[in-house]
Amino acid sequence: TILKRGAIIFLLSDFLAQPKSYTRPLMALAQRHDVIAVVLNDPREFRWPKIGMVRVEDAETGKQQVIDTSSTDWQTAYQQQQEQLRKRRQALFRRATIDALEVAVNGDYIQALSAFFHERERRR
């Protein structure tokens, strides 16, 4: 192992994959180190513009599908799916005792980081 036990590790990711795909390595990492997950959020990934039929491709599987972004039902289902993913991710972080910080890629990340570290320091 290159890192000594107890290192502080920052994981920067959008964490859009299903949590079950990274649960085991994350739990193992958190057992040995102080892990801080920085979740990078792009608001465009959570709310699609209503532009009609769009062909999308899963970057990991290559699977393609056509979706109707103007469908209210699709918009609602998509937002619910994203919220469920967020809840599963948060549950995993809690279970692994990983501190997490959500940062909007188009927002004031300095303010978010500052608030996060002040809160973290207050808890210790």
Q: Give pLDDT tens digits for 68-115.
A: 999 999 999 999 999 999 999 999 999 999 999 999 999 888 988 899
pTM to 2 decimal places? 0.81
Return the domain boundaries, the chain: 8-123
Question: In the 8-state DSSP scheme, what is residue 66?
Answer: E
Residue 1's pLDDT band, with cuts at 50, 70 and 90, is low
pLDDT band at 123 (very low <50, low <70, confident <90, very high): confident
CB atoms within 10 A of CB 32: 14
As a whole number, mean pLDDT of residues 31-56 equals: 92
Note the pLDDT of residue 25.
Answer: 94
In 10 A of CB 101, how many CB atoms? Answer: 19
| Residue 6, pLDDT score | 82
Task: Give the Cα separation of 12 and 39 in Å (integer).
Answer: 6
Mean pLDDT, the chain, as a whole number? 91
Question: Cα–Cα distance between 8 and 3 in angstroms, integer?
Answer: 10
